[in-house]
Protein backbone atom coordinates (compact mmCIF):
# COMPACT_ATOMS: atom_id res chain seq x y z
CA UNK A 1 0.00 0.00 0.00
CA UNK A 2 1.28 3.46 -0.89
CA UNK A 3 2.12 5.73 2.02
CA UNK A 4 0.55 9.17 1.74
CA UNK A 5 2.70 12.25 2.22
CA UNK A 6 1.15 14.87 4.52
CA UNK A 7 -0.13 17.97 2.74
CA UNK A 8 2.04 21.08 2.86
CA UNK A 9 0.25 24.05 4.42
CA UNK A 10 1.43 27.65 4.35
CA UNK A 11 0.04 29.84 7.15
CA UNK A 12 0.18 33.63 6.72
CA UNK A 13 -0.69 35.92 9.64
CA UNK A 14 1.08 38.89 11.24
CA UNK A 15 -0.04 37.79 14.73
CA UNK A 16 2.65 35.51 16.25
CA UNK A 17 0.12 34.00 18.67
CA UNK A 18 -2.22 33.03 15.85
CA UNK A 19 0.66 31.59 13.81
CA UNK A 20 1.70 29.47 16.77
CA UNK A 21 -1.87 28.30 17.45
CA UNK A 22 -2.54 27.30 13.84
CA UNK A 23 0.87 25.63 13.59
CA UNK A 24 0.18 23.66 16.77
CA UNK A 25 -3.26 22.49 15.55
CA UNK A 26 -2.22 21.56 12.01
CA UNK A 27 1.37 20.48 12.69
CA UNK A 28 0.32 17.16 14.21
CA UNK A 29 -1.04 15.94 10.90
CA UNK A 30 0.44 18.15 8.16
CA UNK A 31 3.69 19.83 7.10
CA UNK A 32 3.21 23.43 8.18
CA UNK A 33 5.27 26.50 7.40
CA UNK A 34 4.29 29.82 9.00
CA UNK A 35 5.15 33.31 7.78
CA UNK A 36 4.13 36.77 8.95
CA UNK A 37 3.79 38.68 5.65
CA UNK A 38 2.71 38.45 2.03
CA UNK A 39 6.32 38.91 0.89
CA UNK A 40 7.45 36.00 3.04
CA UNK A 41 4.60 33.90 1.61
CA UNK A 42 5.83 34.55 -1.94
CA UNK A 43 9.37 33.59 -0.96
CA UNK A 44 8.11 30.23 0.37
CA UNK A 45 6.14 29.25 -2.74
CA UNK A 46 8.92 27.90 -5.01
CA UNK A 47 10.65 25.67 -2.46
CA UNK A 48 7.80 24.69 -0.13
CA UNK A 49 5.10 24.32 -2.83
CA UNK A 50 2.11 24.29 -0.48
CA UNK A 51 -1.14 22.59 -1.44
CA UNK A 52 -3.14 24.65 1.06
CA UNK A 53 -2.71 28.19 2.39
CA UNK A 54 -4.38 29.56 5.52
CA UNK A 55 -4.27 33.35 5.16
CA UNK A 56 -5.33 36.23 7.41
CA UNK A 57 -7.38 38.86 5.60
CA UNK A 58 -5.66 41.77 7.36
CA UNK A 59 -1.93 41.87 6.69
CA UNK A 60 0.26 44.95 7.28
CA UNK A 61 1.49 45.57 3.73
CA UNK A 62 -1.23 43.75 1.83
CA UNK A 63 -4.50 41.95 2.42
CA UNK A 64 -5.56 38.34 2.27
CA UNK A 65 -7.82 38.84 -0.73
CA UNK A 66 -5.02 40.24 -2.88
CA UNK A 67 -2.58 37.63 -1.59
CA UNK A 68 -5.06 34.86 -2.43
CA UNK A 69 -5.38 36.12 -5.99
CA UNK A 70 -1.61 36.40 -6.40
CA UNK A 71 -0.84 33.00 -4.86
CA UNK A 72 -3.45 31.33 -7.07
CA UNK A 73 -1.82 32.94 -10.13
CA UNK A 74 1.39 31.16 -9.12
CA UNK A 75 -0.47 27.90 -8.41
CA UNK A 76 -4.07 27.64 -9.66
CA UNK A 77 -4.51 24.38 -7.71
CA UNK A 78 -3.70 26.01 -4.35
CA UNK A 79 -6.63 25.86 -1.92
CA UNK A 80 -6.89 28.93 0.32
CA UNK A 81 -8.73 29.29 3.61
CA UNK A 82 -9.04 32.92 4.67
CA UNK A 83 -9.17 33.92 8.35
CA UNK A 84 -10.69 37.10 9.71
CA UNK A 85 -11.23 38.64 13.11
CA UNK A 86 -13.51 41.25 11.54
CA UNK A 87 -17.20 40.57 12.09
CA UNK A 88 -18.46 43.51 10.02
CA UNK A 89 -20.42 42.54 6.92
CA UNK A 90 -19.76 38.77 6.89
CA UNK A 91 -21.73 38.28 3.64
CA UNK A 92 -19.58 40.85 1.85
CA UNK A 93 -16.44 39.16 3.17
CA UNK A 94 -17.69 35.76 2.03
CA UNK A 95 -18.54 37.02 -1.46
CA UNK A 96 -15.14 38.67 -1.83
CA UNK A 97 -13.42 35.49 -0.62
CA UNK A 98 -15.32 33.46 -3.22
CA UNK A 99 -14.51 35.99 -5.95
CA UNK A 100 -10.80 35.69 -5.17
CA UNK A 101 -10.94 31.90 -5.37
CA UNK A 102 -10.75 31.07 -1.66
CA UNK A 103 -12.06 27.69 -0.57
CA UNK A 104 -13.64 29.11 2.58
CA UNK A 105 -13.16 31.65 5.32
CA UNK A 106 -13.39 31.34 9.07
CA UNK A 107 -13.77 33.88 11.85
CA UNK A 108 -11.10 34.20 14.54
CA UNK A 109 -11.09 32.93 17.16
CA UNK A 110 -12.20 29.59 15.74
CA UNK A 111 -12.68 26.09 17.04
CA UNK A 112 -9.66 23.99 16.11
CA UNK A 113 -12.02 21.22 14.94
CA UNK A 114 -13.45 23.58 12.30
CA UNK A 115 -9.98 24.39 10.97
CA UNK A 116 -9.02 20.71 10.93
CA UNK A 117 -12.26 19.82 9.12
CA UNK A 118 -11.72 22.51 6.47
CA UNK A 119 -8.10 21.54 5.87
CA UNK A 120 -9.12 17.88 5.77
CA UNK A 121 -11.77 18.65 3.15
CA UNK A 122 -9.28 20.65 1.07
CA UNK A 123 -6.84 17.76 1.27
CA UNK A 124 -9.51 15.23 0.30
CA UNK A 125 -10.62 17.31 -2.70
CA UNK A 126 -7.00 17.76 -3.77
CA UNK A 127 -6.47 13.99 -3.76
CA UNK A 128 -9.64 13.52 -5.81
CA UNK A 129 -8.54 16.14 -8.36
CA UNK A 130 -5.13 14.45 -8.66
CA UNK A 131 -6.77 11.05 -9.15
CA UNK A 132 -9.02 12.52 -11.83
CA UNK A 133 -6.04 14.09 -13.64
CA UNK A 134 -4.20 10.76 -13.55
CA UNK A 135 -7.25 8.92 -14.83
CA UNK A 136 -7.76 11.39 -17.69
CA UNK A 137 -4.07 11.20 -18.57
CA UNK A 138 -4.32 7.39 -18.67
CA UNK A 139 -7.35 7.59 -20.96
CA UNK A 140 -5.50 9.94 -23.30
CA UNK A 141 -2.62 7.46 -23.56
CA UNK A 142 -4.91 4.63 -24.72
CATH topology of domain 8-141: Rossmann fold (3.40.50)
The domains of the chain are located at: 8-141
Q: What is the pLDDT of residues 62-117, one digit of tens each?
A: 899 999 999 999 999 999 999 988 767 777 777 788 888 888 888 889 999 999 99
pLDDT over 70 percentage in the chain: 96
Q: What is the pLDDT of residues 24-33, one digit of tens each?
A: 999 999 999 9
Predicted TM-score (pTM) of this structure:
0.88
What SS3 class is residue 11? strand
Residues 6 or more apart from 82 whose CB is under 8 A from it? 55, 56, 57, 64, 65, 68, 97, 102, 104, 105, 106
Q: Please say whether the beta carbons of 85 and 76 come within 8 A.
A: no
Amino acid sequence: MMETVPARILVVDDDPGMLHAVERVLGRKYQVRSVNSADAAFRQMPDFQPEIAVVDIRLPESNGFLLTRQLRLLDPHLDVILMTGDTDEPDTTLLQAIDEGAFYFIHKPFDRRVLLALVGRCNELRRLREAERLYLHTLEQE
